Amino acid sequence: MAQDHNIPPKPSGKPPGKPDFKVDPKASAAPAANFLRAIIERDLQSPGWDQRRFGGSPGDAAHHAAGALDVARIRTRFPPEPNGYLHVGHAKSICLNFGLARDYGGVCHLRFDDTNPEKEEQEFVDAIIEAVQWLGFDWNVNGASHLYNASAYFDFMYRAAEALVTAGLAYVDEQTPEQMRANRGDFNTPGTNSPWRERSPADNLKRLREMRDALHADGAMVLRARIDMASPNINLRDPTLYRIKRATHHSTGNRWCIYPMYTYAHPIEDALECITHSMCTLEFEDQRPFYDWLLEHLAQLGLVARPLPRQYEFGRLNLSYVVTSKRKLRALVAEGIVSGWDDPRMPTLFGMRRRGFTPASIRAMADGTGASKTNIWLDYAVLEGCLRNDLEGQAPRAMAVLDPMPLRLTNWAQVFGSAEHIEPCHAPAHPQHPEMGERHFGLGPQVWIERDDFAIEPPKGFFRLFPPQMQADGSVVPGSKVRLKYGMVVECTGFETDAQGRVTQVLAQVLPGTKSGTAGADSVKVKGTITWVGVHDAVPATVVLYDRLFTEAQPDAGGRDFREVLNPRSRVEVQAFVEPALAGVAAERHYQFERHGYFITDRVSHRVEAPVFNRVTTLKDSWGG
Ligand code: ATP
Ligand code: MG
């Protein structure tokens, strides 16, 4: 078995914008190296590669022989089983398969591996299609769709089984499951031949047809390949090809009561579709000899086209601070720990989308990890870094006050002649993109500021608001002067508290003539600038501050129950105020809230009249270790 689950590196303290891809220390390849590219490039140069034929749709050897030269220079596939929602690990596989096809002038098939009856559901099929499209990939190439269902190949799979039986390469085994297990042997002991192994091809064929025709009970017998019970590779000790299972299949209904095993079905699916490079994760490495054995024999029998697909294994992508096993994800949903499969803390593609991760950021993360022969643990901070890289240059900026406290400018009426006066202010939607336009908002006598932008007694190095300080010698140091960003400089003069001593309002005086963008803007030097929103034009909004769901990088390490390391602050909902430019925004729009991070209007609960913003990530990695 391939080695798995190396200890994750500590969370990175690197500044944002510089993702350092944490690759397994044992991996010799440089970051983002992709050994599959070298293989593809070699194959593209190999003699006869451009003589491959494709029948225009999946099919047997004759179908493809009658077809035209394949216009796709390579064929890859992403083959999900439609029994759950896709997660970040699947995104890795999608980006790899579709990305390599794109880069080398090939085609990637989206194939639903629906050979296992009962477990598949249309809901998952639809969700997978939506997720792959959202990630930015397409299986429609030059007007042809390459979306396939493996269950459409059941007839061929059965035909291939009869051919193997006839050729003496497969037999019906009537041992009980216990006998089969006992006779398989183990790593140190060769297996023992089944008493049914020497039955004649004619007898085997009769039995196989009886299996197909529902003349035997579920589990009474199986079809096995006839390879070598003493093989050092246990997967070659006469693996099972077909089992009897009376189950209704979501697309073939009750037509079949025998179903192929995954290890038999998968190589055939690849061959019928003329896949050239069949990429899978490392745990399938030991299956490759059977993959090759099966396809070589089916090609010799004239059933599948050459050249045969080749299987290549790459390391799984694991992301720190998440769990990706379907069972554990299901438990999170079922136990109400999260709100559903698309909860913004879930590592499902629907969850990540709702959280605000962009397709480009996920693709960058996948491409940045390349492909190697070891499973990798990727630091969650790397994914966040990819998101920041993507959004930095394009997300409109906005001011938002997440923990609002009022600031009153006590000399306002005196300076402007009226307590109703509103001073118009503006700011670029994006500092590097003037073409994105300007935001407009007003400064009035009352504004909302962040509660922690004020301190009664400022700690050392605190450059935001604090009131005048009485010194030991009785002298008074004046209150701080700060700029209200894009507005004017104010000088803190005092504060008010409630009966419990909690600050209810900060008092300050506006310094006339200091407005940003005017000649006098620099007349008063300040050490601090704070964000704010005018009380008169603030838009109330719900802001949900999402954070990692777990406090440990490997929540389920060493068999630990992941419920023990849930982050109690993974979802904090606050009532905030945002600037008026954000009134009426649509769902699924990204913003950078200045000083706070990246946010997105929630796909599900956002309403124009009741906005909801999700925090995707902060501006800096706050988990640096
Ligand atoms: P799981 O067993 O974790 O629930 P799965 O492998 O059963 O996932 P499939 O639907 O069979 O899910 O996966 C589709 C493809 O995605 C497979 O080719 C599989 O190898 C790949 N894949 C799944 N998880 C990862 C991962 N963590 N990293 C890379 N590829 C992955
Ligand atoms: Mg699987």
3-state per-residue secondary structure call for 98-120: HHHHHHCCCEEEEEECCCCCCCC
Looking at the CA of 93, name the nearest ligand. Answer: 1
How far apart are alpha carbons 362 and 390 in whole angstroms? 10
Distance 312 CA to ligand 1 centre (A): 14
Ligand 1 neighbourhood includes 614 CB (under 6 angstroms) = no
Structure token pair of residue 355? 């959280």
Catalytic residues: 81, 316, 326
pLDDT reported for residue 621: 74
Q: Is the CB of 80 under 6 A from ligand 1?
A: yes
Q: Is 326 in the pocket of ligand 1 (CB under 6 A)?
A: yes
Most distant CA atoms of the chain, gap in Å:
109
Helices (H), 191-234: 201-212
Instruction: Determine if ligand 1 sits within 6 Å of the CB of residue 481.
Output: no
Cis ω for the linkage preceding 307 (within 30 of 0):
yes
Atom of ligand 1 nearest to the CA of 318: 27
Atom of ligand 1 nearest to the CA of 314: 29
pLDDT value at residue 346: 98
Instruction: Measure 580 CA to ligand 2 centroid, in angstroms.
Output: 48
- Of residues 305, 294, 308, the one with CA closest to residue 167: 294
Ligand 2 center–CA 86 separation, angstroms: 11
Q: What are 490's two structure tokens?
A: 């104010």
Q: What's the pLDDT score for residue 623?
A: 59
By C-alpha distance, which of 574, 174, 212 is closest to 404?
574
| Mutate-to-test residue for ligand 1 from 6, 90, 323, 325, highest number of ligand atoms within 8 A of CB | 90
Nearest CA to ligand 1 atom 30: 93
Question: In the structure, how many helices (H) and strands (E) does the chain have?
Answer: 14, 33
pTM for this prediction? 0.91
Q: 263: CA distance to ligand 1 center in Å?
A: 15
Stretches in the chain below the pLDDT threshold 70: 1-32, 120, 622-625
User: 482-518: b or e for each residue (b if 16 or more CB lie within 10 Å)?
Assistant: bbbebbbbbbbbebeeeeeeebeebbbbbbeebbbee
Helix, strand and coil content of the chain, in percent to the nearest 5, comes to: 30, 25, 45
- Residue range 65-84, pLDDT digits in tens: 999 999 999 999 999 999 89
How many C-beta neighbours within 10 Å does residue 43 have?
Answer: 16
Which pLDDT value is given to residue 19? 37
> Ligand 1 in contact with 88 (CB < 6 A)?
no
Find where tokens 């294994």 sit.
313
Per DSSP, 282 falls in state: G
Looking at residue 24, its pLDDT comes to 38
The rounded Å distance from CA 430 to ligand 1 centre is 39
Ligand 1: nearest atom to the Cα of 92: 29
Q: Could you report the per-residue pLDDT of 99-120, keeping only the tens digit for each? A: 999 999 999 999 999 999 877 6
Query: Of the candidates 619, 563, 603, 552, which has an alpha carbon nearest to the alpha carbon of residue 385?
Result: 619
Ligand 1 atom closest to Cα of residue 93: 30
